[in-house]
């Protein structure tokens, strides 16, 4: 019985044998891994190129500008953007830019040229004090006003605007007058200063004494020859030579 147990112990593998086998297996495994491991590539050092660095810096700035002013904007964006064209860069405004400019201009004009309606003046017919035309005549557009002039008893009275008061009326009499834009623009001696037309009284009395060489009505302001005058629309219809830069006219 003791002999059998002894034989069994001798048949069991010892720890040294298993350790040696594991070491042998480990050595062969590492050898296999080492044979399969690829060789490392050496990283190439980039040479210092100042031109490339400057290019990247410029490109970075260009990208920032493109993000800020680029053409691709979200819908409803009011930002402007830059559009390069050759050696020049053009600023492109948004679609609502013109609307904002127009509104601001109208606001400033309405603020400066506030209409001053007076109740103590003699009302006149709503027609041009120079050409006798109504609002919207031909291509003259609307009438501008009211402006006010004071007339004395001995003044040349504009009967086409209103009737002269009787002798018992107190003078001077203030009346309101209206003009087409081009008619008063071409009238010599009258200039606009803010909301006021300068030297209106003196010049209007002079114009009302001058008959038009075309229609024979008074109020002619444009000189077309020696002692010959015409209304602006009459001179235009007669194809007189009109210099818009100097606001001068002469008959053909």
Per-residue three-class SS string for 118-138: CCCCECCCCCECCCCCCCCCC
Can you give the residue ranges of every domain in the chain? 116-250
* Closest to 138 measured CA to CA, from 181, 81, 200: 181
The pLDDT score that the predictor gives to residue 233 is: 93
Query: Is 116-250 a CATH 3.90.245.10 domain?
Result: no
CB-based burial of residue 59 (10 Å sphere; 0-12 exposed, 13-18 middle, 19+ buried)?
Answer: exposed
pLDDT tens string, the chain, 252 residues long: the values are: 444 544 554 555 554 444 444 444 444 444 444 555 666 666 666 565 667 788 888 888 888 877 766 655 544 556 677 777 777 877 777 777 777 777 777 666 555 555 667 788 888 999 999 999 998 877 888 898 889 999 888 888 899 999 888 776 788 889 999 999 999 999 999 988 877 888 999 899 999 999 999 999 999 999 998 889 999 999 989 888 888 888 888 776
The pLDDT score that the predictor gives to residue 28 is: 47
* Closest to 182 measured CA to CA, from 145, 219, 149, 141: 141
CA dihedral for 183, 135, 194, 244, sign (positive or negative): negative
The pLDDT score that the predictor gives to residue 175 is: 92
DSSP string, 22-84: HHHHHHHHHHHHHHHSPPPPPPPPPP--HHHHHHHHHHHHHHHHHHHH-S---TT----EEEE
Q: For residue 166, give every residue at least 6 positions away whose Cβ sits within 8 Å of its Cβ, in sequence order, or none.
A: none
Write phi, then psi, for 212 (nearest 5 degrees).
Answer: -75, 135
The pLDDT score that the predictor gives to residue 2 is: 46
The pLDDT score that the predictor gives to residue 32 is: 46
CB-based burial of residue 162 (10 Å sphere; 0-12 exposed, 13-18 middle, 19+ buried)?
Answer: middle
């Amino acid at each position: 019985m003791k002999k059998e147990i002894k034989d069994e112990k001798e048949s069991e593998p010892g720890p040294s044998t298993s350790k040696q086998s594991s070491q042998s297996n480990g050595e062969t495994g590492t050898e296999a891994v080492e044979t399969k491991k690829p060789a490392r590539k050496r990283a190439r050092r980039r040479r210092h190129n100042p031109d490339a660095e400057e290019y990247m810096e410029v490109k970075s700035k260009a990208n920032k500008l493109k993000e800020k002013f680029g053409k691709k904007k979200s819908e409803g964006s009011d930002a402007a953007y830059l559009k390069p064209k050759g050696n020049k860069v053009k600023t492109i405004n948004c679609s609502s830019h013109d609307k904002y400019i127009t509104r601001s201009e109208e606001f400033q004009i309405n603020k400066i040229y506030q209409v001053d309606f007076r109740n103590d003046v003699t009302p006149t017919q709503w027609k041009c004090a120079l050409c006798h035309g109504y609002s919207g005549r031909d291509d003259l557009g609307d009438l501008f006003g009211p402006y006010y002039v004071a007339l004395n008893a001995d003044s040349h009275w504009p009967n086409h605007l209103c009737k002269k008061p009787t002798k018992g009326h107190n003078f001077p009499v203030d009346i309101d007058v209206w003009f087409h834009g081009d008619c008063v623009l071409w009238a010599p001696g009258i200039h606009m200063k803010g909301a006021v037309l300068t030297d209106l009284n003196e010049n209007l009395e002079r114009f009302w004494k001058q008959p038009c060489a075309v229609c024979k009505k008074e109020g002619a302001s444009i000189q077309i020859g020696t002692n010959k005058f015409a209304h602006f629309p009459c001179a235009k219809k007669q194809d007189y030579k009109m210099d818009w830069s100097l606001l001068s006219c002469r008959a053909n």
